[in-house]
């Protein structure tokens, strides 16, 4: 059995039934991050640009908690409710990764767990040994 370690960046608000991040060997699997801040408040209602920033901020917090950085990301997948929001998401991604960013996929979907969420981003990272 491969050992794994759960990552909870906010000890005061642990989700039930899943881990925000899980490390197995040196791979960090990051659960889909939605635009909710550390206090549990939805950020940027109506703005995919602001929601994308919050999702990536959450990913960064998980990476930091796991001993990594955004440079360790190897793959991201964004789920967008509105195809018209792609440019806003892509703008944030380009700000974070102007050159040589992680592999990336974008999927357009009919909805997320809250009607206020316009985007969710999941990721994988390879951490240093």
Task: Kindly report the three-state secondary structure assignment for every residue of 43-73.
Answer: CCCCCHHHHHHHHHHHHHHHHHHCCCCHHHE
Q: What is the pLDDT along the chain (129 residues), one digit of tens a residue?
A: 567 887 787 766 666 677 888 899 999 999 999 999 988 899 999 999 999 999 999 999 999 999 999 999 999 999 999 999 999 999 999 999 999 899 999 999 999 999 999 999 999 999 986
Domains in the chain with CATH codes: 26-126 (3.30.1330.40)
């Amino acid at each position: 059995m491969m050992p794994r370690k759960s990552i909870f960046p906010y000890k005061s608000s642990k989700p039930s039934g899943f881990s925000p991040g899980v490390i197995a060997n040196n791979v960090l699997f990051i659960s889909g991050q939605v635009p909710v801040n550390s206090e549990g408040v939805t950020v940027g209602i109506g703005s995919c640009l602001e929601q994308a920033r919050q999702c990536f901020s959450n990913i960064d917090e998980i990476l930091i908690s796991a001993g990594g950085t955004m440079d360790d990301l190897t793959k991201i997948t964004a789920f967008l409710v509105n195809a018209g929001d792609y440019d806003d998401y892509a703008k944030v991604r380009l700000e974070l990764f102007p050159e040589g960013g992680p592999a990336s996929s974008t999927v357009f979907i009919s909805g997320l767990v809250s009607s206020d969420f316009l985007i969710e981003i999941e990721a994988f990272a390879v951490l240093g040994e």
